[in-house]
Amino acid sequence: MAGRTGRRKGFAVSDQHHSNELPFWRQYIFSQDHKVIGMQYAVTGLLFLLFGFCLMMLMRWQLAYPGKPLPFLGNFLAESPVMPGGIMLPEFYNQLGAMHGTIMVFMGVVPLAVGGFGNFVLPLQIGAPDMAFPKLNMMSYWFYFIGGVIMIASFFIPGGAAQSGWTSYPPLSNIAPLGQTFWLIGMAFLINSSLLGSINFIVTTVQLRAEGLSFFRLPFFVWSQFVTSFLLLLAFPPLMAAAVLQLMDRLAGSSFFMPSGLVVNGATTPWAGGGSPILWQHLFWFLAHPEVYVLILPAMGIVAEVMSCNTRKPLYGYKALVYSVIFLGFLSFIVWAHHMFLTSMGTQMNSFFQITTMIISIPSVVILTTLILSLWGGSIRFTVPMLFALAFLPMFGIGGLTGLPLGLAASDIHLHDTYYVIGHFHYVVAPGTIFALFAGVYHWFPKVTGRKMSDILGKIHFWFSFVFINGVFMPMFIMGLAGVSRRLYDPVQYAHAQSVQPLNVFISICAWCLGLAQIPFIINFFSSIFFGKKVDDNPWEATTLEWTVPSPPPHGNFAKPPVVYRGPYEYSVPGCAKDFLPQNLPAGQAGAAEVK
């Protein structure tokens, strides 16, 4: 279809009546339309986010009231082997922990941010009829789906799901039960899904931009997805290699990650030895650090879109943002070993990674500063998406700042693998990225459905989420400073952890309240699909191309190929009657029709 015959030819061959003739399963299930795939990704991603969060809410009971039977829900699980009498077993706790991380990162945030928003919005924003490779796009979603099914299925196999943390460090992961094999195979599907997606995004962005849409006229969201795709493309293959090596270690008896002379439970192991467990960490973090930026860059893109539209003015320093994002993407490949300061790297290596880590903070500071300065001189509408986008800024700020003591190796000695780390990266990803994703959901919902989500429910959702999410993650910094290790099934075994146990109770209560605060969102989301207020094609009065097509956009998106005449954020241009000029508005028309 589109793109196969070269740039811009897609329109010539796309037959719009064709979509109506497709049977249901081709139109809505095995669809090749980027919008349907985007919705599939978004809904699946949201469901996984909810599921991953439920796992954590379950763990929070054990952390707040260790060894006490879980009330109510525990009665249903009392017969299960993982929670006899409603009391969680340590192996189940470790499964929940490992799967919470895996689900949130690989099956929740990335599919929603890249697969969901990227798929739906990017082709529309660049004026393309579809993605460059619609079949790869469909394959990408179904790989993701299969990966997800394998991950969920692993809870029900003997020994349960993976339980060696989302980082799966060997030798622990190599000697772990069957669930780890499922995890590796599931990851292989998720990795391939992301690879297919990333190639598609890169080609689409390069090849299918509308006439006149030069790179520096691209909305910042497209830039963020473009850079993200390069990160996915270049960072995931090493993890794929690592996953295959670990699979070989587990199934074929190789010893890539197994050193000589291991004695587990008083018995020697079947592995010949000679491998290195640190090799896994290098391969894993070579992916997983860029992965952090895969999580945060699309979020920044969404925030930039929402902010520019709701301040009614152009972004401040658009080019600085673009260059910073490119620089950030590049640097994200050379900071990985700051996750490994305590693995006895030499001082020189250590210093190298500290220096790159400090350097990477500079483009992050530039982006944050630029986004805040974008508010200056605006006329700020406090719509629901804008509230989430605004909250992203200080939350991401806290997440970034608390990275400093972890990025400096000396202070990391005390804080490494404590709750401080958990607080730090959750501030980046949860009230940071996930808030930005909520902003995106509220912002583009009218484009997807033709209806708006309720403002009142949206504001309830925002304010309660904002309060409780800080209640969850802020106390973790105190626990971290007190030296409490992460991943403890029973938090009161250690004397130094007992003193901060009241904080654990507080965090758990906040986490459950945060769970309740998502109910308005769920109600709002589903009821608005059917009963939401009907709105026109451009309810936010935005400038980018996706708002020039009908809501929901038809198959093939644009009736005729759009032509772009101006930059992405021409809001409040002096001398015009309207305060926004869509990108496809010819220069002459703006002058003749609108100058007073």
Partner 1 sequence: MNPKYYGWGFPIDISKHGWQIDQLITILHVFMAVLFIGWFAFFIYTIIRFRQRPGHKAEFHIKHFKTPTYLEAGVALTEFVLLFAFSIPLWHFFRNEMPPKDKSLQVRVVAEQFAWNIHYPGKDGAFGKTDPKLISATNPLGLDPNDPEGKDDIITLNQLHIPVDMPVIVDLSSKDVIHSFTLPVMRVKQDAIPGQMIPVWFEAKSTGNFEIACAQLCGLGHYRMRGFFIVESKADFGKWLDGQAAEKVSQ
Name which position in 313, 426, 443, 447 contacts partner 1 (CB under 8 A): 313
CB of 92 to partner 1, least distance (A): 10
CA distance 317 to 332: 22
Name which position in 9, 26, 312, 459 contacts partner 1 (CB under 8 A): 312
Within 8 A by CB and 6+ apart from 415, the residues are 405, 406, 421, 480, 481
Q: How far is CA 393 from CA 219, 383, 398, 435, in A?
A: 19, 16, 9, 10
CA distance 176 to 95: 11
Pick from 457, 473, 451, 430: which is nearest to 523 by CA?
457
CB of 62 to partner 1, least distance (A): 10
- 8-state DSSP, 264: E
Segment (H or E) for 451:
strand 451-452
Residue among 7 and 486 whose Cβ is closer to partner 1: 486
Is residue 483 at the binding interface for partner 1, with CB under 8 A as the rule?
A: yes
Is residue 493 at the binding interface for partner 1, with CB under 8 A as the rule?
A: yes
CA distance 154 to 185: 11
Binding mask 429-468 for partner 1 (x = CB under 8 A): ----------------------------------------
Binding mask 380-399 for partner 1 (x = CB under 8 A): xxx-------x--xx--xx-
Encoded tokens for 156: 């029900």
Tokens 């009657």 sit at which residue?
A: 577
Is residue 481 at the binding interface for partner 1, with CB under 8 A as the rule?
A: yes
CA distance 556 to 11: 8
Residue 417 Ramachandran class (φ > 0 left, ψ -120 to 50 alpha, else beta): left
Name which position in 546, 564, 571, 584 contacts partner 1 (CB under 8 A): 571
Residue among 203 and 482 whose Cβ is closer to partner 1: 482
Under rule CB under 8 A, which residues in 545-564 are in contact with partner 1? none
Per CB under 8 A, the segment of 12-20, 181-189, 235-243, 377-385 that binds partner 1 is: 377-385
Is residue 373 at the binding interface for partner 1, with CB under 8 A as the rule?
A: yes
Residue 347 burial (10 A CB sphere; 0-12, 13-18, 19+) = exposed
Per CB under 8 A, the segment of 208-216, 255-263, 505-513, 556-564 that binds partner 1 is: 255-263
CA distance 56 to 101: 9
Name which position in 264, 519, 522, 559 contacts partner 1 (CB under 8 A): 264
Is residue 65 at the binding interface for partner 1, with CB under 8 A as the rule?
A: no
Name which position in 233, 365, 474, 529 contacts partner 1 (CB under 8 A): 365
Contact between 314 and 308 (Cβ < 8 Å): yes
Per CB under 8 A, the segment of 90-98, 122-130, 217-225, 550-558 that binds partner 1 is: 90-98
Per CB under 8 A, the segment of 107-115, 287-295, 547-555, 567-575 that binds partner 1 is: 567-575
Is residue 417 at the binding interface for partner 1, with CB under 8 A as the rule?
A: yes
Under rule CB under 8 A, which residues in 323-342 are in contact with partner 1? 342
Is residue 23 at the binding interface for partner 1, with CB under 8 A as the rule?
A: no
